[in-house]
Amino acid sequence: MVFRPVTGDDVATVLDIYNHYIHTSTVTFDLDLWSEHDMAHKIDAVADLGMPFVIAERDGDVVGYAYLSTFREKAAYNTTMENTLYLRDDARGLGLGRLLLAELMRLGSESGVREVIAVIANTADAAPSIRLHENAGFVRVGEMDRVGRKFDEWVGVVMMQKSLSHD
């Protein structure tokens, strides 16, 4: 797998990857499909923050993406970012998530991020994500129950945290 920064040409591909999960899964709390404009706006917002938005390619094909974005708006949170990563549905279960998350952490560290927060649905859909984050050194720091409603079910979240630097 090779990694590269996202470009404007990736919008439609990344959108397809993400919209699949909006439509089929509780791993995202979005309910309505995103438009190309929404995804382009997210890419711009991540760039404006100076944070990585990385594309994973295998044999020239985009198989996933990951980025770091604002965890909380208030300025004192500026060295803490929330992570997001999605593999194309048919690229799951091959161990690619581990490599993509490791690359995102490396880039985050280079960008001066100190703490990374993963907010993960506490559902069977997200079990691989929770496991992936545990394996990558994220520590479970909390849970919130019934904070989302999707597919006629109340959904909670697990909060996980990883420190990228200490002093």
Ligand X SMILES: CC(C)(COP(=O)(O)OP(=O)(O)OC[C@H]1O[C@@H](n2cnc3c(N)ncnc32)[C@H](O)[C@@H]1OP(=O)(O)O)[C@@H](O)C(=O)NCCC(=O)NCCS
For residue 11, the minimal CB distance to ligand X (Å) is 18
15 binds ligand X (CB under 6 A): no
Q: Which parts of 88-117 interact with ligand X (CB under 6 A)?
A: 92-97
Contact (Cβ atoms closer than 8 angstroms) between residue 6 and residue 53: yes
Tokens at 4, concatenated: 């590269």
- Of 6, 108, 110, 109, the closest CA to residue 55 belongs to 6
128 binds ligand X (CB under 6 A): yes
3-state SS, 1-27, equals: CEEEECCHHHHHHHHHHHHHHHHHCCC
For residue 127, the minimal CB distance to ligand X (Å) is 3
For residue 111, the minimal CB distance to ligand X (Å) is 20
46 binds ligand X (CB under 6 A): no
From the list 30-38, 53-61, 128-136, 153-161, the region that binds ligand X by CB under 6 A is 128-136
Contact (Cβ atoms closer than 8 angstroms) between residue 33 and residue 19: yes
d(CA 70, CA 81): 5
Q: Which parts of 49-88 interact with ligand X (CB under 6 A)?
A: 85-87
User: Considering beta carbons, is residue 16 or 75 the nearer one to ligand X?
Assistant: 16
Contact (Cβ atoms closer than 8 angstroms) between residue 142 and residue 159: yes
123 binds ligand X (CB under 6 A): no
Tokens at 165, concatenated: 């630097």
For residue 167, the minimal CB distance to ligand X (Å) is 28
Site residues, ligand X (CB under 6 A): 21, 27, 85-87, 92-97, 118, 120, 126-129, 131-132, 135
